[in-house]
Structure 1
Amino acid sequence: MAELGHEGGLLVAKAIGSVAGAWVSLVYLMPKSMREAASRFMTGVSCGVMFGAPAGLWLTERLGLAGQLSPIETTLSGAAAASLSAWWVLGALVRIANRYGAKTDPP
């Protein structure tokens, strides 16, 4: 099993960034129900925790900030970006699927 003892700061940065990104995604586009809000929030937090570090590294390279940010800052910003964009990507996929998906006639 992986040890998380020496990576505690990065784990906290992922959690904080993920929650912040999920919160902003809820503010930008208000959910229609509590169920949708919970689903969006959990999706954002999950994606932010999972993809926070790689997204942060990618962002720092793309923005030319490599070497200027600490690992905590890179992870925090990556988690927030991944969390914020997760629901927007899923929403776009749902709209595409609804538009081009197979249509069934009601019985």
Structure 2
Amino acid sequence: MLTKKQKRFLRAQSHHIQPIFQVGKAGVGEQMIRQINEALEARELIKITVLQNCMMDQEDVVEALLEGTASYIVQVIGHTIVLYKRAQKQPKIMLPES
């Protein structure tokens, strides 16, 4: 679980990042979860955009992403979701202590 201080730190880090995934009409599938997991391992902090034509409710998209990736939600703002997951092999982002 991320503390408020850690979320604030991660929000600041994610400000300049561009979304690298888009959830569209097909919703969140197994292949997308696999790709997001790989991206989280490489980058630790990613942005995902939910497109207007997505058939899933945005809350359902967030829930599916969290279940499938075991990551933490940093922020949901508009149609953009920011996820964080500490890399297993080489962590890059050092979170502040509580």
Normalising by structure 1, report the TM-score.
0.26
Give TM-score, length-normalised by structure 2. Answer: 0.28
Relative to total residues, which structure has the larger strand share, 1 or 2? 2
Question: Greater share of helix residues, 1 or 2?
Answer: 1
